[in-house]
Amino acid sequence: MAIGADYLEQTLLPMSANPSEYGRTVMSRRLLMCNVMLGLLLGLSPMATVASTDLVFAGGHIYTADPANPRADAVVVRNGEIIHVGSMNDASAIATSDANWIDISGKMLLPGFHDAHVHTRLGGRSLTGCDVTSAGSLDQLSQMLRLCFSTSEKPWLVAEGLNLGFFGPAGPMSPWIDALSTTKPVLLRASDGHSVSINSMAMRVAGITAKTLTPVSGVIERDSDGSPTGTLRESAMDLVERHVPAESFAERREMMQIAVQEMNRFGITSAFDAWVGREDIDVYRDLDREGALTVRIRAALAYGHGALFTLDSPQEYERLVSDGAQLATENFKLGAVKLFIDGVLEGETAALVSPYLSEKGGRGDLTYTQAELNSIVIDLSKRGVQVYTHAVGDGGVRSILDAFEAAQTAFGKSDLRNQISHLQLIHPDDYSRFSELGVVANFQALWALPDEWIMNLNLPVVGMERVQRMYPIASLSRAGATIVGGSDWNVSSLNPLEAIEVGLLRQDWTKNDRLPDGATDQIDTLNPDERVDLDTMLRAYTVNAAWAMHQDTITGSLMRGKRADLVVLSKDLFAVPPQKISTVFVERTYMNGNLVYESGAVTD
CB 329 within 8 A of CB 296: no
Residue 82: count of CB within 10 angstroms of its CB: 23
Confidence class for position 7, pLDDT limits 50, 70, 90: very low
> Which residues in the chain are classed under CATH 3.10.310.70?
155-241
Residue 143, Cβ density class (10 Å: 0-12 exposed, 13-18 middle, ≥19 buried): middle
pLDDT of 26-80, one tens digit each?
333 333 444 444 444 444 444 444 556 999 999 999 999 999 999 999 999 999 9
Alpha-carbon separation of residue 363 from 108, 309, 348 (angstroms): 47, 21, 8
Confidence class for position 360, pLDDT limits 50, 70, 90: confident
Which CATH topology does 55-112+559-598 take?
A: Urease, subunit C; domain 1 (2.30.40)
Q: How far apart are CA 370 and CA 534, in angstroms?
A: 38
CATH number of 248-548: 3.20.20.140
Q: What is the predicted pLDDT for the residue at 114?
A: 98
> Which residues in the chain are classed under CATH 2.30.40.10?
55-112+559-598
Confidence class for position 603, pLDDT limits 50, 70, 90: low
pLDDT of 287-296, one tens digit each?
999 999 999 9
Q: What is the predicted pLDDT for the residue at 220?
A: 95
Q: Read off the pLDDT of each residue in 296-320 and give the average, rounded to a whole number.
A: 95
Q: Read off the pLDDT of each residue in 292-303 and give the average, rounded to a whole number.
A: 98
**Strand (E) or helix (H) holding 62:** strand 55-63
Residue 594, Cβ density class (10 Å: 0-12 exposed, 13-18 middle, ≥19 buried): buried
CATH number of 155-241: 3.10.310.70
First to last CA, the chain: 37
Report the percentage of the chain scoring pLDDT > 90: 84
> Which residues in the chain are classed under CATH 3.20.20.140?
248-548
Q: How far apart are CA 270 and CA 281, in angstroms?
A: 16
pLDDT of 86-105, one tens digit each?
999 999 999 999 999 999 99
pTM: 0.88
